[in-house]
Amino acid sequence: MERNNNKGGVGERMASTSYKTQNPMELTWGCCTMDLDDSAFLQCAKCKHAYHTACLPGTYIDPATSDGLMNFLCPLCDKRKPGKNDNTPIRFNSNAIMTRSTKRQALNSPPNEKPITNSEMQEIIKSMLMEVQVSMRNMITSTLNEEFKTFTDELKEVKESMNFMNIKYEEVRKEQAETKERMKLLKSESDIAKAKLKDLESRVNYLEQNARANNLEIQCVPEKKDENLLNIIEELGKTINCKVTTEQLAYFTRTPKLNKDNDRPKSIIVQFITPKKKDAFLAAAISFNKANPNNKLNSSHAGIPGKMTAIFVTEHLSMSNKALHAAARRAAKEKNYKYVWIRNSRIFMRKTDNSPYLIIKSMEALQNLD
């Protein structure tokens, strides 16, 4: 009759009390239905179902008074407020199952009678599902809290990085704005410097050209070692009907070539005493060429024997004006301008006989030609 279980002496008292009221073989079981002869049990005062003490939660056993044993209510009939362990499902006596593998049906019970109704089972399942739901909710909440904390930390790092990048961006933007202002200032200063440089170049060119006011340049005169430049100048004066004497000349010489690889002879620079005599000599040369289109000035007119080569008499231009004159001649060929000439150290162009003339003062003027 004695049984060593987790209830100890309490199980013995309850077992003795229950056996006095009713034979265990005639009971309807509400727990495991294992009618073990040596097991202590309690009978519900309301539904009359019997429960092994080993299958009951500890909260249903009150060993302090005998009234607690006699007025026992099973977990399904008990209306008390659930405690921490009140939702614990009824335990099945695993020791009894191992001790006795076959069960004996109660005498007065139908063969297929269920000890727990569907509504009761639904309540038990509902209670278990609620526990699972609470457990899952806690687990999900814990997991989400950890993930949210990780996300919050990462978001904080991203925010700090964005703040750092924003600070750097503002610094770069400020430096860029300052650089832009400096560039504007430098551009303004550069434009002013360019304007001043252009003005200075114009002034220098004017001074250089003014220094050549009395000069003429005779081009393409053949060079000889024993040549006499004075005789060449005098012979040309006789040919164009403009006599030249030594007293009318300040000096005369050949100028070095800028390009030593050029096969053209060095030009002869002739400086007259007065601009009037220079202009008279130049006008006479132009008139001679117009009057003799088939026999324009050449080396034979300068008293130079040998193969005849054309000779050109023009104003002595400064280096800047000479480059502009060369560019004007190239532009005239490209854009079909008929005339290019120089007068008073200025360069003129005319497209046709009836079109107005143009004064070329700079390279930009050549770029704007029609």
Give the model confidence (pLDDT) of 270-285 as tens digits.
Answer: 999 999 999 999 999 9
Max mean pLDDT range (1-10, 30-39, 78-87, 274-283)? 274-283
* Per-residue pLDDT at 5 exceeds 50: no
**Residue 25: inside a domain, yes or no?**
yes
Q: Minimal CA–CA distance to 10: which of 91, 89, 69, 90?
A: 69
What is the mean predicted confidence (pLDDT) over 56-78? 65
Separation CA 213–CA 276 (nearest Å): 10
What is the mean predicted confidence (pLDDT) over 335-350? 91
More confidently predicted of 340 and 13: 340
Q: State the average pLDDT for the chain.
A: 80
- Predicted pLDDT at 61: 57
Structurally, the chain folds into a number of domains equal to 1
What is the mean predicted confidence (pLDDT) over 229-255? 92
**Residue 166: inside a domain, yes or no?**
no
Q: Which domain holds residue 85?
A: 9-115
**Residue 170: inside a domain, yes or no?**
no
Separation CA 23–CA 37 (nearest Å): 10
Residues 6 or more apart whose Cβ sits within 8 Å of residue 89: 124, 127, 128
**Residue 85: inside a domain, yes or no?**
yes
Separation CA 87–CA 78 (nearest Å): 12
More confidently predicted of 9 and 158: 158
- Predicted pLDDT at 72: 78
What is the mean predicted confidence (pLDDT) over 116-135? 86
- Predicted pLDDT at 58: 62
What is the mean predicted confidence (pLDDT) over 227-250? 92
**Residue 337: inside a domain, yes or no?**
no
More confidently predicted of 116 and 339: 339
HSE, CB side, 13 Å, CA atoms: give it for residue 361.
Answer: 6
Give the model confidence (pLDDT) of 201-227 as tens digits.
Answer: 989 999 999 999 999 999 999 998 888
- Predicted pLDDT at 106: 47
* Per-residue pLDDT at 98 exceeds 80: no
pTM of the prediction? Answer: 0.51
Q: What single DSSP character describes residue 310?
A: B
**Residue 56: inside a domain, yes or no?**
yes
What is the mean predicted confidence (pLDDT) over 2-14? 38
- Predicted pLDDT at 50: 84
**Residue 133: inside a domain, yes or no?**
no
More confidently predicted of 40 and 197: 197
What is the mean predicted confidence (pLDDT) over 279-301? 93
**Residue 207: inside a domain, yes or no?**
no
The string over 292-310, giving b where at least 16 C-beta atoms fall within 10 Å of a residue's C-beta and e elsewhere, is eeeeebbbbbbebeeeeee
